[in-house]
Structure 1
């Protein structure tokens, strides 16, 4: 029997407020994170994810006091990320009440951090976020007569860091495999091409990665309707779907989403 699929609202935090944009830009205010956390827990969210999206750019630590405040009102698992670059800070965040920590830029810069965190906290506490975007291979020749397969070969999913601002040389699938090898317990996979568009998740990439790896994959980017979540759970091996704006702005309440998923035969957790 497969594990029940999880619904995870994400709270992107900037200056102590929840914000949301499209394709990682054009941020707008989405409310108070503490109040939103309380609402989502009451509505039946399976977990929450709190990402301080400018911590790495601004070279500061995650807002630990806010983590404490949010954790105090929750009775569901809670992941915190943003600016975590060493074991000491990760331990401080777990002590503040988080169940898991998420790293991204720091993992790319120093991959051994993944192993250090897993050894100290346990793999179940370590989530590595991967922000990915399709990029044309500049080394390939452009030709009007090339085939579809050749076009597909030229497109690579590349890993981005620093809140999606900086492209790396890492290829997404191989990086995810390395993340698993280094001891992470989970991957938060965000398609930058789909982020905030509400046009559906990156199903092909998510399915490929979730089938190649044995650790859970949280899919993020593009969730706009219950049908998108149904497609995610029916057409890929992803263990969770993460979204933000549809929850923050009341477009798709969590109880309604879960009801529709259950009606479609998706195995989910429901409110008692």
Structure 2
């Protein structure tokens, strides 16, 4: 079994890290380069950098900020937001990214997953999925454009297709749980984890140390991603890891 990972997330808008609740009411959380360096020092296993308004605004990811961030860290670094071509992937990998996260562009053009995996390897391609419960379907729906647009696509069907096309990892965000600090969406995460054979990163809802244990043990997640609790110093990565170790969870 792979050791579990703890991953801070930098949601970046206009060059600053921001955080909201259910994808709205964003507030400033600091400079991405400074925060990245801090998390590297504090023992984060990886870092995720998402340019959250790039797809909505129809522009590419901020390469300069990515380059500066990469220069400050030694841990694996995933970058996403506004990536719609293999050339965009290449540009970001050259700027220092280790993995590329695609969401809106993958839904619009699933062949991009295949193309990216073929060119850079599956381990490099992370398909990010923003999921929200659809009451009518009694199932989760995929959203794009930073959670602004519905797709009519079912999450479980989409993650299986993404894996088939060559995705190496799923970054799964529960829009219902995002920023609430009420805990990860265990039901959603478990459903996705049990549907695919590739690692699943759970995102959205972390508010207490116990939530990390829950998402690993009950939802079978391979990694847990959090933002608010780390950005605002509500708990440290070391505290989370110490708690998990004390409960017998194997972590990096």
Superposed CA RMSD in Å reads 0.7
**Is 2:180 aligned against 1:181?**
no
**Is 2:21 aligned against 1:8?**
no
2:128 aligned counterpart, secondary structure: strand
**2:246 alignment partner in structure 1:** 263
Q: Bigger CA drift: 205-214 or 176-185?
A: 205-214
Q: Report the TM-score when normalising by structure 1.
A: 0.92
Once the two structures are TM-superposed, the CA of residue 237 in structure 1 deviates from its matched residue by: 1.7
Instruction: List gaps (5 residues or longer) in structure 2.
Output: none
**Is 2:115 aligned against 1:116?**
yes
5 Å matches for 1:118-197?
118-137=117-136, 154-197=137-180
Once the two structures are TM-superposed, the CA of residue 226 in structure 1 deviates from its matched residue by: 1.0
Distance 1:15 1:37 in 2: 17
Distance 1:106 1:61 in 2: 12
Distance 2:250 2:194 in 1: 19
Once the two structures are TM-superposed, the CA of residue 236 in structure 1 deviates from its matched residue by: 2.0
**1:150 alignment partner in structure 2:** none
Query: Any runs of at least 4 consecutive aligned residues in structure 1 with deviations exceeding 3 A, and if so which?
Result: none
1:233 aligned counterpart, secondary structure: helix
**2:234 alignment partner in structure 1:** 251
Distance 2:103 2:216 in 1: 25
5 Å matches for 1:1-272?
2-137=1-136, 154-269=137-252
Distance 1:136 1:255 in 2: 38
**1:145 alignment partner in structure 2:** none
1:56 aligned counterpart, secondary structure: helix
Q: What are the Cα deviations for residues 167-219 of structure 1, in whole angstroms up to 9, with x where unaligned?
A: 11100001000000000000000000000001011111211211221100000
Q: What are the Cα deviations for residues 122-146 of structure 1, in whole angstroms up to 9, with x where unaligned?
A: 1000000000001121xxxxxxxxx
1:212 aligned counterpart, secondary structure: coil
Q: Report the TM-score when normalising by structure 2.
A: 0.99
Once the two structures are TM-superposed, the CA of residue 155 in structure 1 deviates from its matched residue by: 1.6
Compare CA radii of gyration and give the structure with the larger one: 1
